[in-house]
């Protein structure tokens, strides 16, 4: 990590839901909460809690110097709707293959 940049990951227990056009795409009570300097909290959900059957792999990738290279998946009407890090950097290894969405609903446990 560079000076002043910090990432922390903790196990959450709140219910996290991803709903798109009335359809639940993901629902989990075991999200990983990733806090990164200068960014909003991101919820990384285990693949077992995501409707991967609704997702289509995208050709898009992005690179983060702190987390590694992200792969993306799309819904029929939403390109690059979700991302994951198949080979994350060692400092964030817990998020491997967990899915992250831009917009989630969080209900406190």
Write the pLDDT tens digit of every residue in 78-96: 999 999 999 999 999 999 9
Is the pLDDT assigned to residue 105 strictly greater than 80? yes
Whether the Cβ atoms of residue 41 and residue 73 lie closer than 8 Å to each other: no
Compute the C-alpha angle 93/55/50, nearest 5°.
55
Q: From residue 22, give the alpha-carbon distance in Å to each of 8, 18, 59, 68.
A: 32, 10, 26, 32
pLDDT of res. 108: 67
Query: What pTM does this model have?
Result: 0.92
pLDDT per position as a tens digit, 8-58: 999 999 999 999 989 999 999 999 999 999 999 999 999 999 999 999 999
Domain membership of residue 1 (yes or no) is no
* Structural domain harbouring 19: 7-107
Domain membership of residue 67 (yes or no) is yes
Whole-angstrom Cα Rg for the chain: 14
The structural domain count of the chain equals 1
Rounded distance between C-alpha atoms, residue 6 and residue 14, angstroms: 23
Domain membership of residue 94 (yes or no) is yes
Whether the Cβ atoms of residue 18 and residue 44 lie closer than 8 Å to each other: no
Q: For position 13, which CATH number holds?
A: 2.170.150.40
Whether the Cβ atoms of residue 38 and residue 21 lie closer than 8 Å to each other: no
Domain membership of residue 2 (yes or no) is no
């Amino acid at each position: 990590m560079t000076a002043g940049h910090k990432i922390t990951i903790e196990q959450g227990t709140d219910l996290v839901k991803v709903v798109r056009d009335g359809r639940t795409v993901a629902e989990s009570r075991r999200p990983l909460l990733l806090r990164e300097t200068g960014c909003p909290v991101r919820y990384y959900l285990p693949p077992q809690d995501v409707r991967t059957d609704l997702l289509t792999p995208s050709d898009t990738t992005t690179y983060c110097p702190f987390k590694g290279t992200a792969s993306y998946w799309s819904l029929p009407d939403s390109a690059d709707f979700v991302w994951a890090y198949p080979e994350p950097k060692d400092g964030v290894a817990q998020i491997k293959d967990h899915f992250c969405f831009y917009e989630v609903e969080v209900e406190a446990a």
